[in-house]
Chain A
């Protein structure tokens, strides 16, 4: 299957700082990527749809100024958590669907801990 790489796997940051998470499609081009947030033992919550060359589409209730998404190329989308607070601590996962596929492929996830 296609490979999606997410970096870093885990990060600890201080309150008030910003953290950038990268999502790369390694062997295909992705015009669209998806960013999810997952709380312990819970399902995936779609945060936003990242569109190459245009603005991301955010789900209701997700603050676009807090979770900045940049999809500058066909293989890279980034999620920046700005002015992070402890309540932003979570597991963040990205995914992408290759053009000729129907199934999504996921990154390894990023465990963010804000202290």
Chain B
């Protein structure tokens, strides 16, 4: 069965320190992987994606993520956290190109990131 795990409900980091938000997945075939961010009472904003190619992908607001096929992980990272990065982060996966028109995403439970000044 397809699934996404975000093992940490909450991550706390000090401003200026590097941050990591973890994500592991289970999906058949080659996955498409995504990270989204949600601010309070707002919809989700797309941060970055891995489709194919270089395992390290860079996205919005200085975030990046590394696709690790052997560990089935796609951890989100940022070298230097900002207080404004405090939000809810979601990892999502769907089957890759062979999925046809199935664009349904499988979502992690979310990780609340708190960056302390």
Residue numbers of A with Cβ under 8 A of B are 1, 4, 6, 32, 34, 41-44, 46, 49, 91, 93, 95, 97, 102-109, 111
Contacts and interface: CB of A to CB of B under 8 A. Distances in A.
B90 A43 contact: yes
A97 B34 CA distance: 13
A49 B51 contact: no
A34 B90 contact: no
A107 B46 contact: no
Given A43-B90, A43-B107, A44-B107, A106 B43 contact: yes
Given A104-B46, A111-B41, A34 B108 contact: no
B14 interface: no
A105 B104 contact: no
A42 B46 contact: no
Interface string B22-55: 0000000000101010000111111001010000
A71 to B, nearest CB: 14
Contact of A43 (B34, B41, B43, B110): B110
B49 A46 contact: no
Contacts of A103: 34, 46, 49
B109 A104 contact: no
B69 interface: no
Contact of B43 (A1, A41, A109): A109
A57 B24 CA distance: 28
A74 B51 CA distance: 26
5 contacts: A4-B43, A46-B104, A49-B104, A105-B46, A106-B44
Nearest to A43: B109
Contacts of B41: 91, 109, 111
Nearest to B94: A102
A32 B94 CA distance: 15
